[in-house]
Structure 1
Amino acid sequence: MRAAVVTEFGGPEVVQVQEWPEPVAGEGQALVDVELTDVIWVETAIRRGAFGDHFDVSPPYVPGSSLGGRVLSVGAGVDEEWIGKTVLGRVDGFGAHAERVVVQADSLVEVPEELNLETAVAAIGDGFTALLIEHAAPDLQGKEVLITAAAGGMGLLLIQIAHQAGAHVVAAARGQAKLDLAKAQGADVVIDYTTPGWEKLVLDATLGVDVVFEGAGGKLGAAAFSTVKDGGWFSAHGAPSGGFAEYDPAEAELRGITVRGIKDVQADSQQVSKGDVIKRVLAGELVPVIDRTFGLDQLGDAHRAIENRALLGKSLLRIR
């Protein structure tokens, strides 16, 4: 079968479509004929060789984790009723960007007939994390909420969540097209964080924020942290600027600011289900924005577009 393979650590050009061993469903597993997969920023960093202390992977490997497709077969201990169903699934580790993929059957979620697969795949990964963050956050009603990386796949969902909860939403992103998109999703104020001293514009608009959903990382994250009121809440879950938000833990403790990182979100994973994401999508409460769908042989182009911050919302990979 064909798969997109990271042949060595490096730039997007190291991704090549190759013949890859045909998988077989083992006990507790299902074999999925993959139609679409999600493409996310962290996969581009891993391809470059970053985050080796978090992800045990070495080339050659097939990247990708979240997928959508049709169940072809199941292994021992799995109900054969799954066969033929259109599902969402997640690979343990990596391997989703391939024509056929084995997943743990307990990770499968059936896609309702009234939901198209593109929307489901675009929503499931970012939506799951966004709902975990929402679950952990304080009540947003009437609060000042700052969202960075606001025009990314998850940033847009967080705007929708905060807006529906009755927050006053400040969205920070890069460039007018992204600001316009954030505004269309429910942001009350939009700020371009390429503007020097952009955090002062946040303070002018809010007199300090109660909650920050920080998806940019690095120095942008540090600037976002400086806008939080004493006693506020700060989610440092994104790192596309090269690392998670820079802040002083001693200052956070002194000012009574609660800081939660990506590991805290992952630790709460039993509090939200993928079924919850699907319900929110069907209710129109989570509406993923898909910018581009790339072909299997264009995964390198998808990585390049993500790294160049050229996308408005999500990118997907069409396997067939």
Structure 2
Amino acid sequence: MAGFRISTYHWPTEGATVPAAARGADKLALARQLGAYATIDYSEPEWPKTIRKCYASVDIALDGVGGLLGHQIVDLVTEGGTFSGYGMAAGTPTVVDGDIARARNVEALTIEQLNPYQTVRPTRVARLLAMAARGEIAPVIGASFPLSDAAAAHRALRDRALLGKAILRP
């Protein structure tokens, strides 16, 4: 959700409509609280049809889940759009078939897309920290665990039981 929070801060000012897809009522409520224009529960079997019904196009899609869900997201991207796969919470990353991407004129990006940004990373980190200091963005912390209970934190993340990130403290 932290990445989502940043994107809702920027994109509406550029005229974009930023919906959020999540699984379950609690995560959808959090997405609405963080500023999502609309929310879609991707545990519903017909969720891609709901997206197509509600939006004329999906120009940019960000996928932090991967697996089958990631491939469903790729299928939603409009010809000439961009798919960015940056995570694999489902266990596997989304691998986009190059021939399909070229045929649909879809730019398919992976986590490796971030490598060229390493030179500007300090500037971006400073900007994000300044935004956080002003209260414009904030991480979503789901739970805090003592370092001695790191296994419980990992289980909570694996089981997708948290609304936000897990923090380990000394």
* Shared fold (TM-score, shorter chain, > 0.5): yes
1:254 counterpart = 2:80: no
Distance across 2 between alignment mates of 1:207 and 1:185: 24
Single out whichever of 198-207 and 301-310 deviates more from structure 2: 198-207
Q: Deviations over 1:156-186 (max 9, x none)?
A: 4334443454421111111000000001111
Task: Give the corresponding residue for 1:171.
Answer: 20
- The answer to which structure has the higher helix fraction is 2
For 1:286, the aligned partner's letter is I
Asked if structure 2 preserves the Cα contact closer than 8 Å seen for 1:161 and 1:285, the reply is no
Instruction: Determine the structure 2 residue equivalent to 1:216.
Output: 65
1:246 shift after superposition: 3.9
TM-score in terms of structure 2 length: 0.91
Amino acid aligned to 2:152 = D
Deviations 1:170-228 (A, max 9, x none): 11111000000001111111011110021111111112201001111011000011111
Aligned residue for 1:168, secondary structure, equals: coil
Give 1:259 deviation, angstroms. 1.2
Distance 2:27 2:6 in 1: 14
Which ranges of structure 1 fall in alignment gaps of 5 or more residues? 1-151
> Cα offset for 1:305?
0.4
Q: Is 1:299 aligned to residue 150 of structure 2?
A: yes
Assess if the C-alpha contact under 8 Å between 1:216 and 1:238 holds in 2.
Answer: yes
* 8 A Cα contact 1:236 1:244, kept in partner: yes
**Aligned to 1:169, what secondary structure does the other structure show?**
coil
| % identical aligned pairs | 34
Contact 1:219/1:246 (<8 A) preserved: no
* Letter in structure 1 aligned against 2:30: L
Aligned residues: 168
Q: Which residue of 2 aligns with 1:290?
A: 141
Output aligned runs, 1:1-320, within 5 Å.
Answer: 152-273=1-122, 274-319=125-170
TM-score if structure 1 supplies the norm length? 0.50
Tell whether the 8 Å contact from 2:146 to 2:168 is kept in structure 1 after alignment: yes
- Larger CA deviation: 249-258 vs 175-184: 249-258
Residues 1:186 and 1:165: Cα distance change in structure 2 (over 3 Å): farther
Q: Which has the higher strand share?
A: 1
Unmatched 5+ residue regions in structure 2?
Answer: none
In structure 2, give the amino acid aligned to 1:295: P
Task: Provide closer, same or farther for how the CA distance between residues 276 and 292 of structure 1 changes in structure 2, counting only shifts above 3 A.
Answer: same
- In structure 2, relative to structure 1, the CA distance for the partners of 1:185 and 1:164 (3 Å cut) is farther
1:79 matched residue in structure 2 = none
SS in structure 2 at match of 1:288: coil
Contact 2:2 2:138 in 1 (8 A): no
Deviations 1:257-281 (A, max 9, x none): 1111101113322233221221121
Check 1:206–1:187 CA distance in 2 against 1; reply closer, same or farther (3 A cut): same
Q: Is the 1:156–1:313 Cα contact (8 Å) retained in structure 2?
A: no
How much is the aligned-residue C-alpha RMSD, in angstroms?
1.6
Distance 1:163 1:318 in 2: 35
Structure having greater relative contact order (Cα 8 Å, sep ≥ 6): 1
Q: Is the 8 A contact 1:252 1:259 kept in 2?
A: yes
What SS does the aligned partner of 1:226 have? helix
Map Cα deviations across residues 57-102 of structure 1 (whole Å, 9 max, x no partner). Answer: xxxxxxxxxxxxxxxxxxxxxxxxxxxxxxxxxxxxxxxxxxxxxx
Larger Cα-atom Rg: 1
For residues 27-52 of structure 1, the C-alpha deviation after alignment (integer angstroms, 9 at most, x for no partner) is: xxxxxxxxxxxxxxxxxxxxxxxxxx
